[in-house]
Amino acid sequence: MPELADKFKQYDMLSPEFALSCLNRLQLRNNEQMVDLSDPSGALQLVGTLKNPIAEF
């Protein structure tokens, strides 16, 4: 899919591991608005890593 080449460069879908985001912690911290819409990735709470199940393909 040549039209998605930029996205594949930006997001390594075949990385062996990726950061674990704790969405439940965000919801418990503020159940009305989990993330700041102006900076959604800034609110993420990353704890540890997860094995990527599609990395071997």
Is position 15 within any domain?
A: yes
Is position 56 within any domain?
A: no
Note whether 54 and 14 are within 8 A (CB): yes
> Predicted confidence band at 17 (pLDDT cuts at 50, 70, 90)?
very high
pTM of the model: 0.52
Decide which of 41 and 47 is more confident.
47
Is position 14 within any domain?
A: yes
CA 13 to chain centre: 11
Is position 46 within any domain?
A: yes
> Predicted confidence band at 8 (pLDDT cuts at 50, 70, 90)?
confident
Look at the chain and report how many structural domains it folds into.
1
Length of the chain counted residue by residue? 57
Is position 57 within any domain?
A: no
Structural domain including 8 reads 4-51
Whether residue 51 has pLDDT greater than 80: yes
